[in-house]
Amino acid sequence: MRILWNPWRYEYIKRFNSGEKEIGECLFCRLKSMNDDEALIIYRGVYSFIVLNAYPYNSGHVMIAPYDHLGSLEDLPDEALLEMVKLVKLSMKIIRKAFNPDGFNIGVNIGRVAGAGVPGHVHIHVVPRWVGDTNFMGVIAEVKTLPISLQETYSILRKTLNEIQGA
């Protein structure tokens, strides 16, 4: 296997050890107190927010996280859980209008063993999918290609949100 160096991921990786315990401040707790443009926050609700994933599976991959630092869906108050589901719907609407995907993967990883990168702070992934978005690069070279920068994706999603809210 060839190595594709991506040292920017080290900042993400070094935040966590191999167990369930988080090292330092939680990613989502840090993001919620930052400026929207710096944190890539697309929308802020009463109980939760939509943020662009800085390490996306596909362009337009967003996450919905509650403001409260809770590890599982069953820990959330009903109002927060309902808002998060509504923000999944809003995310899909924004992404569909902005990028016209053929479908979506939506999921929640609870606990590190389930694949949670931030196991102490539950969040929902919304990943747009296109026919053919899995290609030979991942299979042959084990490399994922993204055709648009994070900043441009963020700008397009924020602009699209403004258009939807203005309609």
Query: What amino acid positions are annotated as catalytic residues?
Result: 123
Joined together, the tokens standing for residue 123 give 């969040």
SS3 41: strand
SS3 157: helix
SS3 128: strand
Chain centre distance of CA 30? 15
- Which run of H or of E encompasses 126? strand 124-129
Which among 61, 46, 35, 84 has a CA at the least distance from the CA of 76?
Answer: 84
